Amino acid sequence: MLYTFLYRQLYTHFAWAYDAVSWLVSLGRWDGWRRVALDFVVGADVLEVGSGTGELLTALVGRGLTVTGLEASAAMHAITARKLTERGLSVPRVQGFAQQLPFADRSFDTLLITFPGGFIGSAAAHDEFARVLRPGGRLVIVDVALITDNPLLRLLFSLAFPPKPQAMTRLHKALNDSPLAISRQFVGQGMARVVITLGEKKPSPPYPSGWLNRCKM
């Protein structure tokens, strides 16, 4: 309960401390973990779901991509707006929720979600991800896992990233029921590794031979 309370404060009253806290709990590796997502982008139109303080939005724009940010927290939007202004950038951003994405069907080539909140276990959210992705599009979820049996390291990791068995159960069910083709992989070396979950949307089937001529008849 205490962790949940503190977590919520980082998205409201203490949003100004989010970047520093993320750096601290990851021992300076947070931004590097997050940027792994860039290697899995497909296409040019990208939606970041849960864009937070805007750091990944900046990196995506730097790669020449057309980017939109979705974030539920007004405090996070304020911080992002200030950063973008300071950097001379303009990125479309929307305040909203993953379970009701305010975008038309087939709007994006890639959806990026890094270190997601509770919405990631929602079946409604995964249905929305599939809806707004174009055929051949991709969902990219970034998280981190500890690969070690060292009890002290596992204790420290659990303090920074408390286990949530019920949330993990909901996530696994949502992934199993997803309209997308789901796969997972580890990235990097060492004890703390990035976990990439990919959801691929099947490309549209090609039109059968002679289809266009038949339509003209």
CATH assignment at residue 16: 3.40.50.150
Q: Output the pLDDT for position 112.
A: 98
Q: What is the pTM of this model?
A: 0.86
User: How far is the C-alpha of 172 from the C-alpha of 143, rounded, in Å?
Assistant: 14
**Can you give the pLDDT at residue 160?**
62
* C-alpha neighbours within 13 Å on the C-beta side of residue 110: 22
Spatial separation of the C-alpha atoms in residues 124 and 118, rounded to whole Å: 12
Place of tokens 């590097």: 32
Q: How many domains does the chain have?
A: 1
Q: What is the pLDDT of residues 150-209, one digit of tens each?
A: 776 666 666 566 667 687 889 999 999 999 999 999 998 777 889 999 999 999 776 555
Q: Are 176 and 121 in contact (CB under 8 A)?
A: no
State the pLDDT at residue 205.
73
- Residue 9 has a pLDDT of 74
Burial of 197 (0-12, 13-18, 19+ CB in 10 A): buried
Coil, strand or helix at 177: coil
Mean pLDDT per block of 10 residues along the chain (217 residues) reads 61 84 82 94 97 95 96 95 95 97 98 93 96 98 81 66 75 93 90 91 71 50
Domain that holds residue 25: 2-216
At 7 the pLDDT is 61
What integer best gives the mean pLDDT of the chain?
87
**pLDDT of 162:** 63
Distance CA 105, CA 139 (A): 15
CB 213 within 8 A of CB 165: no
Q: In what order do the strands lie in the sheet with 108-114?
A: 93-95, 66-71, 45-49, 108-114, 133-146, 192-200, 181-187
pLDDT at position 217, please?
46
- Rounded CA gap, 133 and 101, in Å? 11
Q: Coil, strand, or helix at residue 133? A: strand
Question: What is the structure's pLDDT at 210?
Answer: 56
